[in-house]
Amino acid sequence: MDIKVSKFSFAGNGKALTMNEPRGFIKLVKNNETGKIIGGSIIGADASSLISTLTLAITNGLTEKEIVKTIFPHPTTGEVIHEAAMGLGIGALHQ
């Protein structure tokens, strides 16, 4: 299977920085043939809340482009999902 992996650090997320929680990351795995998100992990602030969004994306066969089109509130730690999805295609905005 042809895959692509994107990793985004919580140090690039404004909400994590204001919470003084820059440690952590999100990793997304995409099937390059279908564009669908097939896996991932989240370690960091609010990870237990954020994982449900990732689970929803995988369960419903969402592609990285569909996640990128989704509006994520700002400032929230949830934006790390958006950034990691952009890293699978056009590239993350904040490093």
Residues 27-57 pLDDT 10s? 999 999 999 999 999 999 999 999 999 999 9
Given the residues 23, 69, 74, 94, the one annotated as active site: 74
Query: Which residue's structure tokens are 């990285």?
Result: 64
94 is catalytic: no
Could you read off the pLDDT of 58-84 as tens digits, one per residue? 999 999 999 999 999 999 999 999 999
**pLDDT score, position 91:** 67
**Predicted TM-score (pTM) of this structure:** 0.91
82: alpha, beta or left? (left if phi > 0; alpha if psi -120 to 50): alpha
- Within 13 A of 37's CA, how many CA atoms are on the CB side? 29
Instruction: Please identify, in words, the CATH class of the domain defined by 24-71+79-90.
Output: alpha beta
Residue ranges of domains in the chain: 24-71+79-90
- Helix ranges (H only) for 2-46 are 14-18
**pLDDT score, position 64:** 96
